[in-house]
Amino acid sequence: MHSETPAGATGRQPATSLVVAMLTFRRPDDLRVALPALIEQAEQVIERFERVEVLVVDNDPQESARAFVEAFPSAGPVVLTYRCESESGITAARNRALAEAAASDLLVFIDDDERPTERWLVDLVATFDRGDAVAVVGPVVSRFEREPSAWIQAGEFFTRRRMPTGTAVSVAATNNLLIDLRVVRGLGLVFDTAFGHAGGEDTMFTRTLHATGGRLVWCDEAVVWDIVPAARSTRDWVVRRAFSSGNSWSQTSIALEDSLRGRLTARVRCIAKGLVRAAGGAVRSAVGLVTRSLRHRAKGVRTLARGFGMIAGAVGYSYEEYRRVDA
C-alpha cells in the first residue's frame, strides 16, 4: 500500500513517515485520556506510512509523565516514544519535538488538554495529500469543565475561526497543526526562543513559514476539542488572554522584519492599530453600559484588552503568559 501513497498536486516526493507530538506538563489525568486517543488516531493512518510514531515531550524536569508513558501497553506497529525537555517553556518543548522528529517527513502537534475527533488525523493527512500545502491547520473547539458566565459567552472569548477546507491561511497555532518537516528543515526553521514564556512562538513560526512562500491550508473536518478547566473560565483569565494575543501579535510583527527601518515601521503600525482597537473597544463597552447590552460590553472589553496588548508589545513589553516556577 505504501507504493500508492499520493505525491500531491505538485509532484513532490510522497511523505513516508509521520510523528504525532503531544507536549505535556504535570497533567496526569489529561495524559491518561489523551495518550490512548492518540495511539488510536495513529493506528488509523498506519497503512498510509512506512513509519508512524507518537511522541510525548514532557516539559517537567522531574519526568512525572515517564512512568505512565513507558508502562503503556504495546502500541503494535505504532512507535511510542517518551522524551523529557527539562528546559522550561513551551518553545523549548516544541523545539525538542522538532529535533526528535528530525528523521521524519511530517510532524503533527496537539496539546495534552485536547481530544481529537474520530477521524482527526486521517483528515489532516488527506488534506495534506490533496494539494501543495506545507502545513495543514485544524479547528479547535472549546469544551468546559464549568460553563462560562453569560458575560464570557457574550464576548465570544472562546470562539475560534472556522472556514471551508482548503482555505489558505497566513498564521496558525500549533495545538492542531500538521507541518512538512522536509520544508521546515530546508528553511532551518525552529521556534524562536525569544517567545519561550510569552507565547506567540507558534504565531512567529507559522508567519515565518508563510512569509517564505509556504502555503498553509485549513482542514475544517480535523477538529480537536479543547478541554477548558474551571480556572480559565473567568473574566480575569479571558481578558489576560486577549491582552496576550495582542501582545504576541505585535512582537511577532516586529520580529519578522529584517531591517531597523522595517522594525520601526512595524512598531508604529502596531501602535496605531492598537490605539484604534483600544479606542473602539472602549467606545463599544461604554455603549454596552448605556444600552445594557452584555454583548457590546464584553466584546468591547475584549477588543480593548487586545488593543492594549498590541501597544504594549510594540513598545517592548513582553507578557510572559507561560512563565512558571517549577517546584
Question: Which position has the grid cell 460590553?
Answer: 297
**Residue 310 CA: distances (Å) to CA of 7, 174, 307, 324, 325:** 41, 21, 5, 23, 26
CB within 8 A of 225, min separation 6: which ones?
114, 115, 116, 117, 140, 141, 142, 143
Question: In the listed set 183, 214, 232, which residue is the last one of a domain according to the structure?
Answer: 232
Going by C-alpha positions, the residue among 95, 98, 88 that lies closest to residue 322 is 88
Average pLDDT over residues 58-65: 94
CA angle 279, 163, 18 (to 5 degrees): 115
Pair (227, 270) in one structural domain? no
Q: Is 87 a domain residue?
A: yes
Q: Is 321 a domain residue?
A: no
Average pLDDT over residues 300-324: 87
Q: Is 324 a domain residue?
A: no
Q: Is 131 a domain residue?
A: yes
Pair (202, 220) in one structural domain? yes
The rounded Cα 91 to chain-centroid distance in angstroms is 11
Pair (219, 246) in one structural domain? no
The yes-or-no verdict on residue 138 having pLDDT over 60 is yes
Pair (76, 135) in one structural domain? yes
Number of domains the chain is built from: 2
Model pLDDT for residues 207-226, shown as the tens digit of each residue: 999 998 889 999 999 999 99
The β-bridge partners of 217 are 136, 168
Choose from 5-14, 197-206, 252-261, 281-290 the range with maximum mean pLDDT.
281-290
Pair (161, 288) in one structural domain? no
What is the predicted pLDDT for the residue at 213? 86
DSSP letter for 25, please: S
Host domain of residue 29: 2-232
Q: Is 327 a domain residue?
A: no
Average pLDDT over residues 48-55: 96
Q: How many CB atoms lie within 10 A of CB 151?
A: 15
Residues belonging to the chain: 327
d(CA 206, CA 210): 6
The yes-or-no verdict on residue 6 having pLDDT over 80 is no
What is the predicted pLDDT for the residue at 61? 94
Pair (242, 221) in one structural domain? no
Pair (90, 219) in one structural domain? yes
Q: Are 201 and 251 in contact (CB under 8 A)?
A: no
Q: Is 157 a domain residue?
A: yes
d(CA 288, CA 297): 4
The yes-or-no verdict on residue 148 having pLDDT over 50 is yes
What is the predicted pLDDT for the residue at 8? 40
Q: Determine the 3-state secondary structure of 251 from DSSP.
A: helix
What is the predicted pLDDT for the residue at 200? 79
Question: In the listed set 213, 232, 251, which residue is the last one of a domain according to the structure?
Answer: 232
Pair (301, 154) in one structural domain? no
Q: What mean pLDDT, rounded, does the chain reach? A: 91
Sort strands 114-116 and 168-169 into parallel, antiparallel or unpaired. unpaired
Question: In the listed set 189, 205, 232, which residue is the last one of a domain according to the structure?
Answer: 232
Pair (224, 279) in one structural domain? no
What is the predicted pLDDT for the residue at 5? 39
Q: Is 183 a domain residue?
A: yes
The H or E element containing residue 314 is helix 294-314
What is the predicted pLDDT for the residue at 203? 87
Task: Kindly report the CATH number assigned to the domain that includes residue 41.
Answer: 3.90.550.10
Q: Is 254 a domain residue?
A: yes
Pair (199, 252) in one structural domain? no
Q: Determine the 3-state secondary structure of 130 from DSSP.
A: helix
Question: Which position has the grid cell 517553556?
Answer: 89
The yes-or-no verdict on residue 322 having pLDDT over 70 is no
Amino acid at 296: H
d(CA 276, CA 269): 11
Pair (174, 125) in one structural domain? yes
pLDDT bin (cut points 50, 70, 90) of residue 321 is low
pLDDT bin (cut points 50, 70, 90) of residue 1 is very low
Pair (39, 105) in one structural domain? yes
